[in-house]
Amino acid sequence: MTKQEQVKAIFIEEAGEIIEKLDIDIIRFEENSSDFNLLNEIFRGVHTLKGNANAFGFTRLGEFVHYFEDVLDYYRSTKEDIEEHNLELFVESVDVIKEVMTCELDAIDTLPKSYSECLEKIKTLVSIKKSKDISLDKQNDVSELIDLASEFGFSEEPENILLKSIKAHQAIQDDGLNLYKIDLTLDVDCYKRGFDHLLFIKNLAEEAKSIESFFNMQNVETLDTFKSDTNYIKNVEIVVLTPLSYENIEEFFEFLSEDEYSIESIKPVVVKEDEPLVVNNKSIGASDDTLSTSTITQKSTIRIDTLKLDELFDSVGELVIAQNFIAQNEKIRSVEDESIGRTIDTLSKITKIIQDRVMSLRMVAIKDTFEKMKRVVRDTSKKTGKEVHLVVQGEETEIDKTMIDSLSDPLIHIIRNAIDHGLEANADERIKAGKSREGKITLKAFHKSGSIVISVSDDGRGINKERVLSKAIERGIVSGDENFTDSQIFALIMQPGFSTAETISDLSGRGVGLDVVKTSIEKLRGKIEIDSKEGEGTTFSMVLPLTLAIIDGMLVHAAGEIYIIPTLSVVESFRPEKEIVHMAKGKSEFVSLRGQNIPIIRLSDVFTLETQRIEPWEGILVCVETEIGRIAIMVDSLIGRQQVVIKTLGKSLTKLKEVSGGAILGNGEIALILNVDELRPLIEVPHG
Amino acid sequence: MEFNGDALMIDTDMSMEEIIKFEEFIRPRIDFIETIEVEEGCALKSSALLSILVSLKKTRPKLQIPFLEKGLSIAPAYGTIHWIYHD
């Protein structure tokens, strides 16, 4: 990748992040349109996007965001109430920005129809607001306007656009970037000397993150006295954000006389010591009426490729294994030396600290994902015509970054499904059922037994079990002979091809969604649980591991080997009484537990291992929940619960579908991680 | 540079020589031109073009120059350029 391509890749990543944030912020702003700090935040995002877009030649995006920025700027500076239809226009504009960005990235010539329509609306709004503003200002505060404008030599704008530009650039000034205001006052003969204002701007732009310039053309004469090769431009003010030093900037103008230019270094905005610069809406823009001259104190962050983080995580995994190896090594343990024992303890503690810190690098709050869901709720609510109130809880819960990326689509689908099918068809139906007009969707994240649960609940109709079961029988998904528990019946709606929706909407109801959701969650080594009460509502809970790199497992001894069963699937473990163990067709064993017949799986049978066969009541049964219901894995003994670093298996072992990975234990031994969903009894046993 | 009805079409990337020729061309014809359309396919090459457009507008305020009236130009090579020409 060339340097240019690398820079472009960074821009695309940054732009994606900005647009994603805009999408969230605009919905938050729609909810509370008097939050002008948030409007400032949105404005800054749009401004950065404009600079970046123009720098990379995405002029169509640049033009759109330019006008959008104007509108935002009007409202943030006047603090005028925003009309509802204009709020709608803001949301629409963010949609257009997303679409245009895609067109720019894929070099698609034809822009969506919404581009020109929305741009036209924005332009009209800008012109209406500006004309109104100018006339009001002329009536009310002419002197103030003149003072402000005269400071920079402009008289058209009520608020000086140069000052605004400087403030906006200050707001996006990252570490390592310097902000300068350059005043070019080229002599009348500059063209004859081979200089041109645009030549300097072009050179600066090549080294700038963002550049904006302001030509004061007031001195240009009428054609009677005008000569093209004479410079009438009074001055050009350039605001440039660049990594270049003051000395580097001076070099651009070394051939000009000293009175033809001046460079002013603008210091970054002041941030109080204990306040973060970004993140909090209140930190910037709340009182930024004057340009600051003090030094900046801000949280320092760097951008790291997640691949590097993964490599670091792998290395720490190896470190943990090596440390366990030392701690559990019999030879080392047999040395009777207190200092060695203490050193090993210290090493163990430090390794744990490093492991936790590296783990935390991958963890991000689920807040942003939840924020995005507000938009989904809003749009689905509008499309379905249902009034919906969204309640969000536990948004500070942290989750592995890799999982966050894969979680959006399943969440979107479940939320749409909850609104479209979960909630009653209309407010009348809800009132008849004794509920409020407005449907409630609750989005919740929390920790539970070493896992993370993300749930979506609605207070709608609930799932009709009989209807689900009869539909499943009709579709041939189940035979009808089975005796299912409630949760097993609810789980049927996630089977491929299942749909009870009477009408197919563009939101959900095709019966192809929930099974995809289930697969996506299972890929993350998680599972979905459904709980529903007819007439009261439904909850979809996605139970996910804390991280994809480490698994919380139960270590067991079976047939002379050590296996790991994911704790997430384990329901209980017990030594059965002889009386509750039965044989089916002389081949398959099962255990009767609380009225349920649970098939017993012997790992020696699964992996064809030669071992001394013991009876189930001589061993331990670990009861686990699988796709096909509960199974009891027979083991010789339980070793304990442990977090292990997952290692992928070689090609030859990947075919072994009963195993999902391996882990190196402290003593150097390798243990296989069981894929419990693929463990099948020799003969299916009726659960009832 | 070409005429399209009463509108004169010009390019943004005119060099100083071309701007001087444009000036010579338009001086005797300014009263007959209703609109000057600027093709924005390329970036501005010289600030002198902006100056002459402003001069034409000041000379004959009825003349329509949509490019000038926009008050800004966005181009990858220069970033965002604003201009203000009212007295």
**ipTM score of complex:** 0.95
Q: Which helix (H) or strand (E) holds A127?
A: helix A113-140
- At A134, is the pLDDT very low, low, confident or very high (cuts 50, 70, 90)? very low
CA distance B84 to B71: 7
Q: Choose the closest CB to B19 out of A59, A228, A233.
A: A228
Q: What is the DSSP string of B11-79?
A: ES---HHHHHHHHHHHGGGGGG--EEEEE-SS----HHHHHHHHHHHHH-TTSB-HHHHH-EEEETTTE
User: CB-CB: which of B30, B48, B50 is closest to A191?
Assistant: B48
CA gap A492, A471 in Å, rounded: 9
The alpha-carbon gap from A535 to the nearest alpha carbon of chain B, in Å, equals: 58
Q: Which residues of B touch A216 (CB under 8 A)?
A: 83-84
> For residue A362, what pLDDT is reported?
78
Chain A contact for B68 (CB, 8 A cutoff): no
CB atoms B82 and A57 under 8 Å: no
Q: Taking a C-beta distance cutoff of 8 angstroms, is the pair A211, A295 a contact?
A: no
Residue B50 near residue B77 (C-beta atoms within 8 A): no
- Is the Cα dihedral A367, A372, A373, A375 positive or negative? positive
Would the CB atoms of B51 and A231 count as touching at under 8 Å? yes
Q: How many helices (H) and strands (E) does chain A have?
A: 20, 22
- Contact flag B74-A236 (C-beta cutoff 8 Å): no
Across the range A580-597, mean pLDDT stands at: 83
Q: Regarding predicted confidence, which is higher, A73 or B55?
A: B55
State the pLDDT at residue A549.
Answer: 67
Structural fold of domain A3-140: Four Helix Bundle (Hemerythrin (Met), subunit A) (1.20.120)
H or E element, residue A603: helix A603-606
Tell me which residue has tokens 């060339």. Answer: A2
Residue A82's pLDDT is 82
- pTM (whole model) above 0.95: no
> Residue A546 has what DSSP assignment?
S
The yes-or-no verdict on residue B2 having pLDDT over 80 is no
- Mutate which of B24, B74, B85 to test chain A, going by most A C-beta atoms within 10 A? B74
B15 in reach of chain A (CB within 8 A): no
Q: For residue A654, what pLDDT is reported?
A: 65
Tell me if B58 and A222 make a contact (CB, 8 A cut-off).
yes
Rounded CA separation A211/A221 (Å): 28
Instruction: Say which range, A262-276, A438-452, A517-531, has the weakest mean pLDDT.
Output: A262-276
Q: Inter-chain contact B47–A196, Cβ cutoff 8 Å?
A: yes
Output the CA torsion A373→A374→A380→A386 (10° steps). Answer: 140
In whole angstroms, give the CA distance from residue A520 to residue A514: 10
Taking the domains of chain A in order of start, what are their residue ranges? 3-140, 161-266, 306-364, 366-545, 550-678
B87 part of a folded domain: no
Q: Which CATH superfamily is domain A550-678 in?
A: SH3 Domains (2.30.30.40)
- A chain contacts of residue B75, beta-carbon cutoff 8 Å: 54, 59
Interatomic CA distance for residues B47 and A233, integer angstroms: 8
Q: Quote the Cα angle for A223-A200-B86, to 5°.
A: 35
Q: What is the pLDDT of residues A372-396, one digit of tens each?
A: 888 889 889 988 889 999 999 998 8
The encoded tokens of residue A621 equal 């049964």
With a CB cutoff of 8 Å and minimum separation 6, the contacts of A435 are A424, A459
DSSP state of A448: E
> Which DSSP letter does residue A190 get?
T
Q: Are A461 and A534 within 8 A, CB to CB?
A: yes
Question: What's the total number of domains in chain B?
Answer: 1
| Count of CB atoms situated within 10 Å of the CB of A631 | 25
Q: To the nearest whole angstrom, how far is the Cα of A1 from the nearest Cα of chain B?
A: 21
Question: Over 90: is that where the pLDDT of B56 sits?
Answer: yes
What band does A230 get if pLDDT is binned at 50, 70 and 90? very high
Angle between the N-to-C axes of helices A36-55 and A3-31, in degrees from 0 to 180, rounded to the nearest 10: 160
Q: What are phi and psi of A248, to 5 degrees?
A: -60, -40
- Average pLDDT on A646-669 reads 76
Distance from CA of B67 to the nearest CA of A (A): 14
Residue B6 resides in a domain: yes
Residue A528 CA to residue A190 CA, distance in Å, equals 72
Q: How far is B35 from chain A (nearest CA, A)?
A: 17
Question: Which of chain B's residues have a Cβ under 8 Å away from the Cβ of A208?
Answer: 79
State the sign of the Cα–Cα–Cα–Cα dihedral A591, A593, A596, A601.
Answer: negative
Q: Cβ–Cβ contacts within 10 Å for residue A512, how many? A: 12
- pLDDT beyond 70 at A614: yes
Decide which of 2.60.40.10, 3.30.70.1110, 3.40.50.10860, 3.30.505.10 is the CATH code for A161-266.
3.30.70.1110
A641: tokens are: 């619960």
A201·B81 Cβ contact <8 A: yes
Q: Give the three-class secondary structure for A213.
A: strand
Q: Give the residue on A whose Cα is nearest the Cα of B68.
A: A217
Instruction: Note whether A199 and A232 are within 8 A (CB).
Output: no
Q: Say how many C-beta atoms besides its own lie within 10 A of residue A141's C-beta.
A: 13
Q: Does B42 touch chain A (CB under 8 A)?
A: no
Residue A154 has its nearest CB partner, among B47, B56, B84, at B84
Q: Residue A271 has what pLDDT?
A: 46
d(CA B39, CA A680): 72
Mean pLDDT of chain B: 85
DSSP state of A438: S
The alpha-carbon gap from A300 to the nearest alpha carbon of chain B, in Å, equals: 28
Calpha distance A411→A455 (Å, rounded): 9
- Token pair, residue A278, equals 């970004």
- Compute CA distances A652 → A414, A577, A648, A649, A659, whole Å: 37, 39, 11, 8, 12
Max distance between CA atoms of chain B, in angstroms, equals: 35
Question: How confident is residue A270, by pLDDT bands cut at 50, 70 and 90?
Answer: low
Q: Which residues in chain B are contacts of A152 at CB distance < 8 A?
A: none
- Least confident interval from A88-92, A359-363, A422-426: A359-363
Residue A609 has pLDDT above 70, yes or no: yes
Q: Which residues, 6+ apart, have CB-to-CB distance to A66 below 8 Å?
A: A50, B72, B74, B80
Q: Does position A419 have pLDDT exceeding 90, yes or no?
A: yes
> In this complex, is the C-beta atom of B80 within 8 Å of any C-beta atom belonging to chain A?
yes
Residue of B nearest to A238 (CA): B81
The fourth-level CATH superfamily of domain A366-545 is: Histidine kinase-like ATPase, C-terminal domain (3.30.565.10)
Length of chain B: 87
pLDDT surpassing 70 at residue A17: yes
Kindly list the residues from chain A whose CB atom is less than 8 angstroms away from the CB atom of residue B30: 223
A11 touches chain B (CB under 8 A): no
The structure tokens listed for A221 are: 């004469």
A482 or A426: which leads in pLDDT:
A426
| Residue ranges making up the domain that contains B49 | 2-82
**What integer pLDDT is reported at residue A131 of this predicted model?**
64
Minimum-distance CB partner of A197 among B47, B58, B77: B47
**Arithmetic mean of pLDDT, A257-285:** 59
Q: What is the pLDDT of residue A600?
A: 92
Q: Quick check: A229 and B52 CB within 8 A?
A: no
Whole-number Å distance between alpha carbons of A122 and A102: 21
How does residue A6 score in pLDDT terms, banded at 50, 70 and 90? low
CA distance B33 to chain A (A): 15
* Phi, psi at A269, each rounded to 5°: -70, 150
Report residue A551 CA to chain centroid gap.
23
Average pLDDT along chain A: 80
Closest to A660 measured CA to CA, from A553, A580, A575: A553
Is there a contact between B19 and A196 if contact means CB atoms under 8 Å apart? no
d(CA A412, CA A454): 12
Find out whether A157 and A70 touch, Cβ atoms under 8 Å: no
Angle at A375 between CA A373 and CA A378, to 5 degrees: 110
β-sheet bridge partners, residue A264: A181
pLDDT above 70 covers a percentage of chain B that reads 93
Task: Give the mean pLDDT of A313-336.
Answer: 80
Structure tokens at A457: 């609940």
CA separation for the pair A270, A268 (Å, rounded):
7
- For A306-364, give the CATH class: mainly alpha
Question: B41 at the A interface (CB within 8 A)?
Answer: no
Name A189's Cβ contacts closer than 8 Å, sequence gap at least 6.
Answer: A230, A231
Report pLDDT for A165. 82
Q: What is the pLDDT of residue A368?
A: 83
Task: Tell me the H-state helices in A475-625.
Answer: 486-491, 513-523, 603-606
A214 contacts B48? CB cut-off 8 A = no
